Amino acid sequence: MSKPRILVFGGSLRAGSYNQKLATIAAAAATAAGAEVTLIALRDYPMPIFDEDLETAEGMPENAAKLKALFAENDGLIIASPEYNSGMTAALKNAIDWVSRATSEDEPPLSVLKGKTAAILAASPGGYGGARSLAQLRPLLKNIQVTVLEDQVTIPKAYAAFDADDNLADAAQQQAVKSLAAALVSKMS
Ligand SMILES: Cc1cc2nc3c(=O)[nH]c(=O)nc-3n(C[C@H](O)[C@H](O)[C@H](O)COP(=O)(O)O)c2cc1C
């Protein structure tokens, strides 16, 4: 059987993003569990804020189309979602909005999202570890017909959570990320 294909990214545009570090750990774990993993950073796909007038006038921006193609090529998603003002980042929501759009009349709705399986994680400096961001992201994904694993991982006090190798210093937290990634690969296999 072919390996499950999983797209992994953090929802931050920040160079030193804790969530991109978390995504990188999860990507390695998914690879070790037998998946074909594509790890990307949203900062490498800068795109305008979604605007239907812009879409009508110019179509899908190049980087949004590239990101949409990556979604199309993968059956699974691992998303590490930062928390801004108790919710997900505009960058993450904006990326989802763009890739949710059809680019031709015969393309079915949500073609690159529907039927996918996802695992979600978060890291934040606060005590909730980004749980409120995941509380937004989870129903959003479900509503666009992505199956989201019940388990999730949140990392509080993210400023102190990563070691010099960008792994989680706490062995239990590192194991939780590995287990979540392995559970996703297992569900997709
Ligand atoms: C506009 C803004 C709002 C924020 N709101 C929250 C918040 O509600 N809860 C929280 O835990 N952290 C909050 N933070 C702190 C972020 O969690 C922190 O900047 C974190 O590093 C972002 O994730 P990243 O490291 O992956 O970029 C906020 C940061 C910004 C810039």
Mutate to test the pocket of ligand 1, among 124, 132, 162 (most ligand atoms within 8 A of CB): 124
Per-residue pLDDT tens over the stretch 109-158 = 999 999 999 999 999 999 999 999 999 999 999 999 999 999 999 999 99
Q: pLDDT at position 96, please?
A: 98
Q: Confidence band (pLDDT; 50, 70, 90) for 30?
A: very high
CA distances from 1 to 5, 7, 154, 185, 189 (A): 12, 19, 32, 13, 8
Q: pLDDT at position 132, please?
A: 98
What is this structure's pTM?
Answer: 0.98
Smallest CA separation from ligand 1 atom 3, residue: 84
Residue 1 has pLDDT above 80, yes or no: no
Please identify, by atom number, the ligand 1 atom nearest to the C-alpha of residue 130. 11
* Helix, strand, or coil (residue 118): strand
Q: How long a stretch of residues is the chain?
A: 189
CA 59–ligand 1 middle distance (angstroms): 32
Mutate to test the pocket of ligand 1, among 81, 84, 133 (most ligand atoms within 8 A of CB): 84
* Helix, strand, or coil (residue 9): strand
CA 53–ligand 1 middle distance (angstroms): 30
Among candidate residues 72, 32, 73, the one with its CA nearest the CA of residue 180: 32
CA 154–ligand 1 middle distance (angstroms): 13
Output the ligand 1 site: residues, CB below 6 A. 10, 12, 14, 17-19, 82-86, 124-126, 128
Per-residue pLDDT tens over the stretch 40-97 = 999 999 999 999 999 999 999 999 999 999 999 999 999 999 999 999 999 999 999 9
